[in-house]
Each structure stands twice: as structure tokens, then as C-alpha cells.
Amino acid sequence: MPFVVWFCLLVWAFDRWVGVRGVLQKKNTEGINKLQLVMKSGKYTLGYKTVLKTLRNSKGKLVIVANNCPPLRKSEIEYYAMLGKVSVYHFNGNNVDLGTACGKYYRVCCLSVVDPGDSDIIKQLPESH
């Protein structure tokens, strides 16, 4: 009996993990590709302090925030973005995933797109969110 319970639990966990990963990958693949294009051809700033600087100087066009960004920071970024009429996209992943999506080997809590370059990320991401 314990083997059957253990096996059912293992199958359920694997099915849940594959299902969640599949949904996340299907949703974020297009956005991640656009983000990688911004990293190659556009201008951007990474990090909380530089994102606030770009929002204060009204240079940012889009702000992307990881889902595990601290609530106080997130609300402050959203407040400055609202004042500057800049759209905020809540990335469906933590700061490690956002850093990986940017092609960096470190964690990225938030980033600001100053110039999208060849990407149409500013038009596409806020509509999908």
C-alpha cells in the first residue's frame, strides 16, 4: 500500500511539474524572444536604482518586474511608472528567471527598456498582460 501511494504522489508531482513548465514556456517564449532582441539591439537598464532613475528622467518606455520583487519596491516602481505613463509588465518568473531571460548570469529584479531597438516589445507585452 505505501508503494502505491508513493507512486501516485510521484506521478502527480511529475505531471504537475511538466504541466506548469509547459504553460510557462508557451506563454513566455514569445516575450523572452522579444526581450533577447532588446538586449541585443536596444538600450536598457537593469536594477532597481537605475530603473527609478530612468523613470524619474522619463526615459523608460517599459518596465519589467520579476514576481518575487519585494512589495515595497514593486509599488514604488509602479507609482513612478504611473506618474510617467509608462507601462509595467509583471514577469511570470522570479529574478533568476528574468536574469536568464536577459542573457545574464545574475539575478535581475527589474529592468527598464529605454530604446526597444528592433523589437516590438513595447506594443506586444502590455497587451498580453
Q: Is 96 left (phi over 0), alpha (psi -120 to 50) or beta?
A: alpha
Q: What is the dihedral of CA 41, 42, 47, 48, to 10 degrees?
A: -160
Q: Please give the single-letter amino acid code of residue 99.
A: G
Q: What is the pLDDT of residues 30-68, one digit of tens each?
A: 777 888 888 899 999 999 999 999 999 999 999 999 999
Q: What was the pLDDT predicted at 3?
A: 61
Q: What was the pLDDT predicted at 23?
A: 41
Report the chain's C-alpha Rg in angstroms. Answer: 18
Name the DSSP letter for residue 106.
S
- What is the average pLDDT across 111-115? 94
> Does 83 or 3 have the greater pLDDT score?
83
Whether the per-residue pLDDT at 9 is higher than 60: the answer is: yes
Cβ neighbours of 92 (radius 10 Å): 15
Alpha helix stretches (DSSP H) within the chain: 2-41, 48-56, 71-83, 95-101, 121-128
CATH, range 27-115: 3.30.1330.30
- Return the domain boundaries, the chain: 27-115
